[in-house]
Amino acid sequence: MPDAARFHPVISPDGKWLALALTDGVTTNIWALATGDGAMRRLTDFGHRPIFITRRVTWSPDGRFIYAAVSEGDGDIVLLQGLRW
């Protein structure tokens, strides 16, 4: 697991993944952790921009999407789609 702060993991509806926001320096990215083998996958890459996930990430009921409140000065709610986990 990256050397970063850990924030409120949320389990997927099928129980196979945990979604969590990890902060490394000034940037927060969303990661998925496989519950079976512990493999980690980064789902977002905001580079070195000062991005923070301001609330706990949320799975859609069918597990196809992850929602997150993202802040870079102003807070926005974004739908993360097309992610592969």
The tokens describing 28, both together, are: 């927060």
Summarised one tens digit per residue, pLDDT across range 13-28 is 999 999 998 888 788 8
Q: Which residue has the higher pLDDT, 12 or 70?
A: 12
Tokens 């000034």 locate to 26
> What distance in Å separates the CA atoms of residue 28 and residue 71, rounded to the nearest whole number?
10
For 9, phi then psi, to 5°, come to: -65, 145
Residue 2 has pLDDT above 60, yes or no: no
Tokens 């009921």 locate to 61
Summarised one tens digit per residue, pLDDT across range 26-76 is 888 899 999 999 999 999 888 888 887 777 789 999 999 988 887 775 555
Closest CA to 69 of 8, 17, 13, 4: 8
Its pTM surpasses 0.95:
no
